[in-house]
């Protein structure tokens, strides 16, 4: 089941952020930083429910997707996929695909012609997933600092015109 997040989901989102970061970014982000993550410091205080969808398996929230209007300057009529995380025990079971497709549908309904996301350059597993979902590597890079370490991100883009799903 997929649905909009509610304020009551904050703890579940913290668990997903914490556990998925520790697994997905192992050997990419420093161990010191990843070890400092706790469910408490990953739990949002408030959420914009309209921007977050959660997916449940047997009544337990196992993944989330955060999306909305692009935050980068100069991006008119463009959406952004800000985060998509699934608990590691539920990877490779189709939950990520459902979350991605649901967010894409919402972004299209909001009238965006395309959307983008930033992904860590060394996160090859995620990059392969986004390419499978029809996103295109723009080869645009930026540097982000996480835990005192500069890391490269690559911008991926999805255009509804080029990826018409009928």
Q: What pLDDT tens digit does each residue of the chain (166 aa) get?
A: 999 999 899 999 999 999 999 999 999 999 999 999 999 999 988 777 679 999 999 999 999 999 999 877 777 789 999 999 999 999 999 999 999 999 999 999 999 999 999 999 999 999 999 999 999 999 999 999 999 999 999 999 999 876 654 4
Query: Rounded to an integer, what distance in angstroms lies between the CA atom of residue 29 and that of residue 149?
Result: 8
pTM passes above 0.85: yes
Query: Rounded to an integer, what distance in angstroms lies between the CA atom of residue 29 and that of residue 66?
Result: 21
Answer for the pair 18, 10: CB distance below 8 angstroms, yes or no: no
One of 3.30.70.20, 3.40.50.150, 3.40.630.30, 3.40.50.300 is the CATH number of 2-116, namely 3.40.630.30
The token pair at 40 is 């408490």
The residue ranges of every structural domain in the chain are: 2-116
Report pLDDT for 160. 87
Tell me, what DSSP letter sits at residue 151? E
User: DSSP H helical segments within the chain, as ranges?
Assistant: 10-24, 31-36, 39-42, 95-109, 124-132
CA angle 21, 54, 16 (to 5 degrees): 20
Query: Rounded to an integer, what distance in angstroms lies between the CA atom of residue 116 and that of residue 82?
Result: 8
Give me the residue label for tokens 């012609």: 113
């Amino acid at each position: 089941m997929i649905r909009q997040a509610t304020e009551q989901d904050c703890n579940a989102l913290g668990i997903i952020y914490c556990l998925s970061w520790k697994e997905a970014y192992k050997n990419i982000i420093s161990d010191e930083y990843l070890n400092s993550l706790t469910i408490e410091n990953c739990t949002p205080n408030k959420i914009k429910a309209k921007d977050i969808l959660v997916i449940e398996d047997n009544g337990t929230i196992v993944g989330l997707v955060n999306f909305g209007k692009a935050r980068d300057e100069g991006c008119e009529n463009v959406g952004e996929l800000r985060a998509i995380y699934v608990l590691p025990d539920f990877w490779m079971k189709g939950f990520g695909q459902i979350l991605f497709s649901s967010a894409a549908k919402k972004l299209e309904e909001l009238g965006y012609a395309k959307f983008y996301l930033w992904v860590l350059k060394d996160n090859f597993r995620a990059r392969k997933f986004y390419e499978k979902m029809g996103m295109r590597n723009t080869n645009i890079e930026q540097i982000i600092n996480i835990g005192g370490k500069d890391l490269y991100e690559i911008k991926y883009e999805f255009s509804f015109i080029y990826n018409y799903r009928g």
